[in-house]
Amino acid sequence: MLKIILPTAMLLPTTLLSPPKYLWVNTTSYSLLIALLSLQWLTPSHLPLKYTTTWTGIDQISSPLLTLSCWLLPMMMLASQNHLQHEPISRKRTFISTLIIIQPMIILAFSATELMLFYISFEATLIPTLILITRWGNQPERLSAGIYLLFYTLISSLPLLVTILHLHSQMGTLHLSMLKLAYPAHTINSWTIHLSTLALLLAFMVKAPLYGVHLWLPKAHVEAPIAGSMLLAAILLKLGGYGIMRVTLLMSHHSNPIQYPLLAIALWGALMTSSVCLRQTDLKSLIAYSSVSHMGLVIAASMIQTHWSFSGAMILMISHGLTSSMLFCLANTNYERTHSRILLLTRGLQPLLPLMSTWWLIANLTNMALPPTTNLMAELTIMISLFNWSPTTLILTGTATLMTAAYTLFMLLTTQRGPLPKHITLIQSSSTREHTLMILHAMPMILLIMKPELIT
C-alpha cells in the first residue's frame, strides 16, 4: 500500500516544482508509472483480506476499484490538457494538485478496514470534487450544481455518521471483520436495527446514485470539466456501490425488509433513466443518465447479497467505470471542436473525424453490452441472480437492457451520421494525445475480456 501512497504523495512536489515546459509530461508519466505499479493489486489472493497496515487492507472487493482509481489519474491529466491550454501556469499547477490531492483519499476509502476511517475519506473526496466543478466548470450554473452535490451528499451522510457512532458505542469496535462477527442479529425485530440499516445505506444510495436521489449527478456532470466528469463517473459513483457492498455484508440476509423497496426502486430507476436518455438533447446529460441506469443494476445486485450478484456488481462497476469515462472523453473531444453539447448541433462528424468515430463505435458497443465484453458478462450475471431471487424482475431488467441498446444506438447515430450542420466549416483534426487517451481506456476493457476473473 505504501508503495503506491508515497509516490502519489510525491506527485504534489513534482507538480509544484516542475518547470512549466515539462509540467504535463512529468506529472502524466509519473502518474502512469504509479498506475502500472498498482496492477500488482490484481494478483489473485486466497486470503480473505490482505493486511498491509493496521487500518488498511485489500481484498477481492477493493483491489479492482483501487487499480481503476490509480489508472484514471494519468488519463484525467491527459484529457485536461487542451481545456487548460490558455490558463496561466499557476492555475495549471492548482488544477493538477487538486486531482492529485483527491487520489490518496480515494485509495484510503477503498482500502480502509475501519468504518470511521472509511467515512472520513469518503466525505473528504467531496471537497476537491467541489473545487473542480465550481472553479473549472463551463457555465455559470456550475455553482448551483456544486451546491446540489454538497447538500445531497452531506444530508445523506449525517445519519451514516450517527449510526457509525452508535455502532461504536454498542460494539466497542468499528473494524469491519469484527463487526461481521458481532453485528446485533439477536435484536432482529427491533425497529432500531431497521433504522440503522437504512441510515447506513442511505449515504451510499445517494452517492451511487439511487433513482429519486440522483438529481445532483446530471447537474454535476454537465457543469464539470472533463476531469471532474471522469472522476465522478469512474470512481466516485463506485464509492457508493463499494459502500453498499461493505455494509450489506454486515447485515443479516433474511431479516431485513428494507432491501425490498430499495431493490424495486433501483430496478424501476434503471428503466426510468433509460427512457429519460431517449429524450435527451444534451450529450453529457445523456451519458450521465446512462450512468444512473447502470448503477441501478449494481445497487439491485448488491442488495441480494449472493456470490453471483456480488461478482456481477463488481464486474459492472469496473466495466462501467472505463466505458462511461471513455464516453465522456469522446463527448469532450466533440465539445472542444464544436463548442456545443446539443446533439442536433454536433451531428455527422464521421466524415471529418473518421478515426474518432471508430472510438465512438467501440465505446458505444461496450456501453450496450455487446459480446464478448465484460459489460455483457456483468449484466448476464446480475440478471441471472435477480431472476433466481424473483422471476418478476426479468420484466424490468429486460426492458431496461432493451432501452440501453436503443439510446446507445441513438447517441452513436446522432453524433456520427446524418448531415453536417451548416455552421461547422472548419474543424481541428484529432490529435495523438486524444487517441492515446482512448487507447488507455479501450486497452483494459479488451484485456479484461481475456481474463475476467481478475475483477470478479
Every domain of the chain and the residues it spans? 2-42+50-421+430-454
Q: What percent of the chain is predicted at pLDDT more than 90?
A: 80
Q: What is the mean pLDDT of residues 25-49?
A: 89
Residue scoring higher pLDDT (182 or 127): 127
> What does pTM read for this prediction?
0.96
Per-residue pLDDT for 185 more than 60?
Answer: no
Per-residue pLDDT for 252 more than 80?
Answer: no
First to last CA, the chain: 21
Of residues 324, 264, 246, 249, the one with CA closest to residue 292: 324
pLDDT 10s digits, 133-167: 999 998 889 999 999 999 999 999 999 999 999 98
- Amino acid 56 reads T
Per-residue pLDDT for 316 more than 80?
Answer: yes
Q: What is the mean pLDDT of residues 101-125?
A: 95
At residue 183, the pLDDT reads: 66
Residue scoring higher pLDDT (334 or 47): 334
For residue 282, the cross-strand partners are: 342
Calpha distance 386→391 (Å, rounded): 7
Of residues 257, 333, 338, 268, the one with CA closest to residue 296: 268
At residue 11, the pLDDT reads: 96
Calpha distance 289→276 (Å, rounded): 7
Calpha distance 126→106 (Å, rounded): 10
pLDDT 10s digits, 186-239: 455 577 788 888 999 999 999 999 999 999 999 999 999 999 999 999 999 999
pLDDT 10s digits, 376-416: 999 999 999 999 999 999 999 999 999 999 999 999 999 99
Of residues 444, 440, 431, the one with CA closest to residue 29: 440
Per-residue pLDDT for 241 more than 90?
Answer: yes
